Amino acid sequence: MSLKDAQVTTVEASDTRSPPGNVRAVFGALLLVMLLASLDQTIVSTALPTIVSELGGLEHLSWIVTAYMLATTIVTPPYGKLGDLYGRKIVLQSAIVLFLAGSALCGIAQSMGQLIVFRALQGLGGGGLMVTAMAVVGDLVSPRERGRYQGLFGAVFGVSTVLGPLIGGFFVEQLRVRTH
């Protein structure tokens, strides 16, 4: 067997092994990031009628969802480029901070206008969560194994479609501040 054949065999064998512990830890964190981003959408969708009734402004209802989606769509390409230029870790951490800041501000919004602006801010972070998490998988996992790992991301979205409405309903029914 030549040296080249031995190297090919080693690479192929390494593709079928389980990933090292640090890759598993990173991947677990990425799954949590994706869960955070996907749960946000399903929780808000369930709680939205109650939120609008508390803040008023039914005519602006669609802007709550649109502001988030528009901001997410706009920042997706720049996040990819920033990840290439500055590294995925710092870009993902920045997206998480922006997303959480937007989430906290949404929680204290006193009007529909504020909520729409804060959802857009949250969307600026949310766009980075998804695209950067997927890019990290591309960096860490060989193309041969990538489908398996990205399949787990699909499972996270499946879980969030079940848990999100339940959590949103719980928040609306049990945790909201009663004003009367």
CA distance 121 to 115: 10
Give the model confidence (pLDDT) of 70-116 as tens digits.
Answer: 999 999 999 999 999 999 999 999 999 999 999 999 989 999 999 99
* C-alpha 127 chain-centroid distance: 7
CATH architecture entry for 22-175 = Up-down Bundle (1.20)
Give the model confidence (pLDDT) of 18-47 as tens digits.
Answer: 566 788 888 899 999 999 888 888 888 888
In the chain, where the domains are located: 22-175
What does pTM read for this prediction? 0.80
